[in-house]
Amino acid sequence: MRMCVVGSGYVGLVTAACFADSGNHVAAVDIDAAKIERLRAGHCPFYEPGLEEMIAKNERAGRLWFTTDMAEGVRGARVVWLAVGTPPRADGSADLSMIERAAVEAAKALTGPAIFVIKSTVPVGTGARVERLVAEVTPHRCPFVSTPEFLKEGSALADFLRPDRVVIGADDPAAGDVIADLHEPFVRNNKPILRTSRAAAELTKYASNAYLAARISFINEIAEICEHLGVDVNEVRRGMGADQRIGHHFLYPGVGYGGSCFPKDVTALASFGRAAGADCSLLDAIHARNLAQRVAMVARIKARFGARLAGRRFAVWGLAFKPQTDDVREAPALAVLEALLASGAEAAVYDPQALESTRRVLGERVTYCQDPYDALPGADALLVMTEWMEFRSPDFERMRAAMKSAVIFDGRNLYNLSTMEREGFEYHSVGRPSVGGGRG
């Protein structure tokens, strides 16, 4: 099928590449000329395992191409996917101006009827409103469908090609049938295609992300209780997770969640929920607890080294908000770094993928290292902020020899307490007793 994907960010590129890989002919449109040129040259503008290779393969096959020209992109398209950003406003609500502009511009350029599918995360009622806007600018019939994405950065291709479920929200049954057919190649493992109203599909994405965020914030609150009571949260977590009604997923305490989805989706859901008259105090608490985790990490560091950190140097392992991505949006590591720098500290940082994306945020205020061990010489402490696999079994003897003080603040609970004690480190993690001692 001939289709167009408007927006070549994370969701748009994965959508375009995967549909092209299943045999469709896909034009990907973006207003960023530099990004389009980079894609035409075979380079993905962000890190996602396997995506660059899939893009190149389908470009060579002639099934995927990139353009800044909306008219070229939608020419002959039977389906137009909208995958542009819906960033948060200052009050937490979603800014829908980009999706409205993209839909209207695409509609004006249509050469015939087309189904519009919103992949962007949007508040309830957005599909209906944008459908009305489109009807005002084109004579062609353009039913709107909501198909929320449930992609995890770092495993997006697997999530798209082998989804847990596909949710299709369509108030026009025929349009919903077309979109369901397009997803059939990806659900041959008997995973469900769930047909819902358009409004229910819009809300499902927010509700799913908010629930996962709630689990993270809940276990972080339990972790704080554990710290006050001298209990190891890992023992509690394992006991909870063994209950089949609960499970282990997203019950890992740490310095908090980040990224482009959880923070903005929790606040957006609370915003439009309140506007509809609902009590959203639980959503507010989820968000507040997540922010508190970053503050708590900084407070622990200052409790150890003093409120004024001038003359102190910290090594940081991990900058991306999670492993297998270079995304530092809302990354806890950057929030902690900003607080330490503001208190006079120096920092040397390492991440396998996120150095350049961090440089775009922090500039030259920190020292960027190409190897994790290069960040350690002279460090008063090491902060572990992202659970990359290469950090899980490091050379502790080499670390201890390089650092000024053998102190670790572990925001992801990567190491065993007994190992840290045996290796001679002063070790502070989340929801577990500290080991070692002394002051530097």
* CA gap 195, 206 in Å, rounded: 17
Return the amino acid letter for 323. P
Residue with the two structure tokens 């993905």: 44
Q: What are residue 317's DSSP bridge partners?
A: 350, 384
Six-digit token string for 177? 């049938």
Q: Residue 103, class by beta-carbon neighbours within 10 Å (0-12 exposed, 13-18 middle, 19+ buried)?
A: buried
Q: Residue 30, class by beta-carbon neighbours within 10 Å (0-12 exposed, 13-18 middle, 19+ buried)?
A: buried
DSSP letter string, 243-284: STTT-STT---SS---SSSHHHHHHHHHHHHHHTT---HHHH
Whether 280 sits among the annotated catalytic residues: the reply is: no
Rg (CA), the chain: 24
Task: Give the active site residue among 44, 261, 280, 369.
Answer: 261
* CA-wise closest residue to 258 among 415, 94, 387: 387
Q: Given 3-state DSSP classes, what are the helix, strand and coil percentages for the chain, each rounded to the nearest 5?
A: 45, 15, 40
| Residues forming the active site | 261
